[in-house]
Amino acid sequence: RVPSGVRFDEDEKAFFFSEGGDVISTPLATNPWALRSVTYSAWVKVPTEPKNLAWLLCQSPDYGWSRALTLNDYRLGHVSIATSRYWDSGLGKVPVGEWCHVVGVWCCDAECNVYLNGVRGEGTTANNGKSADSGETLFIGGRSPKDTAHNAANYVSDVAVWGRALSEAEVQVLYRCGRPSGPGFSSDCLAGGERPGEEDFDFDRAVSVCSATGGGSTAGNRTEQLLRSPQRVPNSPSCPASPARELPPIWEEATGLFWCSTGLSAYDIPDGDEWQQTFREAVKSSQVTVQRRSLQRNTSDTPTPGAEPSTASRPRQTLARHPSDPDQRAVRAAHTEALIRMTSRPGKQARVQGRLMAFFRFGGAIFATDARCPHQGASLCEGEIGDIEDMVLGKRYYVRCKVHKFQFDLTTGNVLEGHCPPLRTYSARIRHSVGESGGLAEVEVGFNDLGEAYFCPDDSGEDF
């Protein structure tokens, strides 16, 4: 069903959804009860940077962490999928002003993935809510009708749902062929002119739920001219590639650590002092209004009718501050809004020796931690960093999680605010050298020992 609040743009050959506006709905059950594995696919173009969470596709009703494909949900890594917890897809924000291909893949018994323009993000597991409800629908263009927190302004076309998990090669087929409704669609997207058979890509199991002609739902949509052996898609700027080959670790007797190259340059990591100053300005300019509670008179405080006023003044009652009171919630909301407004992340993420790590820099000091918050796995590279002046310990540096605002010491990993396990930290340093293009400042991280990923680099499962 296409409501009147959603218009079809003839120039873009796509549906246009307004911010906080209506959505398209189609009767389709995609929760784990109906489909243990499922793939959502869509082409989308955002005219301006989304101001809210920008959910693109979502099942309804919500059974608790229902399956959804998102574009700007910072709790999930922006371009991502809803699973059963906060996590970081690693894909970052969707590019503005250009058509992008977004795909979400869910599997009940295997890894779930999300793709942006053929590039696969980090994998995760899912435990989405499920139900045998026969009246389930799929919303296109947001989470629900008139949802100001989740529905963003964008163009959407060529939405499809598969009743299975597409492979990475199949997702790249869809991206390489281009947007079927767009002028750039190529029917000659085969490598060597070969056409895969049904065993390679069963498109008959696809359901097109948002056609380019605005005609609504069609089933059994068949797509031809597919790529059997797609080439690797260039990496998205928001998801940089890891080094093709890691340099071997170097044991250093003086420190008692194995020093490993991260593939990062210190110049690539934002300076924490500059980032902190920009963030503070973003907090000040946020539009969140801090409202303070006023204590209302209780009936027991009302003077007794006819009684003489007491000469002794009663002590004034005050309400103790609590993290749940409105002004604290407003401060947290302002913090979140400021993070959304920031155009750059405070740190860089890299996988070193099989470990996903976050790197931050203050001047010439490098800090390395686990990439995810120990509370519920949110990305720390999308949080806040800053410094604290301590009269005893001197200046200390911290990172604050973007979701529940837990604060961790970047040196020790101790929890400075909140209640959760400490953050794992690592020794890090800058190794200066001279290369063909001038001076280099390579970031290295030190490990007490090398994990299984170093000694067993392949996943063949063979014993030698």
pLDDT at position 336 is 85
Phi, psi of 8 (to 5 degrees): -95, 120
Stated pTM of the model:
0.49
pLDDT at position 454 is 65
pLDDT at position 325 is 61
pLDDT at position 307 is 53
CB 162 within 8 A of CB 205: yes
pLDDT at position 331 is 82
Q: What residues contact 45, with CB distance under 8 A and at least 6 apart?
A: 12, 14, 97, 98, 99, 100, 154, 155
Q: What residues contact 457, with CB distance under 8 A and at least 6 apart?
A: none
pLDDT at position 46 is 96
pLDDT at position 284 is 85
Pairwise CA distance, residues 184 & 167, whole Å: 24
pLDDT at position 343 is 83
Distances (CA, A) of 343 to 53, 273, 385: 16, 16, 15
pLDDT at position 212 is 34
Handedness of CA 180, 181, 182, 187 (dihedral sign): positive
* Chain centroid to CA 445: 25
pLDDT at position 213 is 33
Enter the tokens of residue 81: 């999928």
Per-residue pLDDT of the chain (464 residues; tens, 9 = 90+): 789 899 999 999 999 999 999 999 999 999 998 899 999 999 999 999 999 999 999 999 888 889 999 999 999 999 999 998 899 999 999 999 999 999 999 998 788 999 999 999 998 989 898 887 768 999 999 999 999 999 999 999 999 998 999 998 889 888 888 888 887 665 555 343 333 333 344 443 333 333 333 333 332 232 222 212 222 233 333 333 334 345 789 999 999 999 999 989 898 899 999 999 999 988 888 754 444 444 444 444 445 555 555 545 555 555 454 455 666 777 888 888 888 888 889 999 998 988 899 999 998 899 999 999 999 888 899 999 999 887 777 789 999 999 889 999 999 999 999 999 999 999 999 988 765 555 678 999 999 988 666 665 554 444 33
Convert 328-345 to b/e letters by CB count within 10 Å (16 or more is b): eebeeebbbbbbbbeeeb
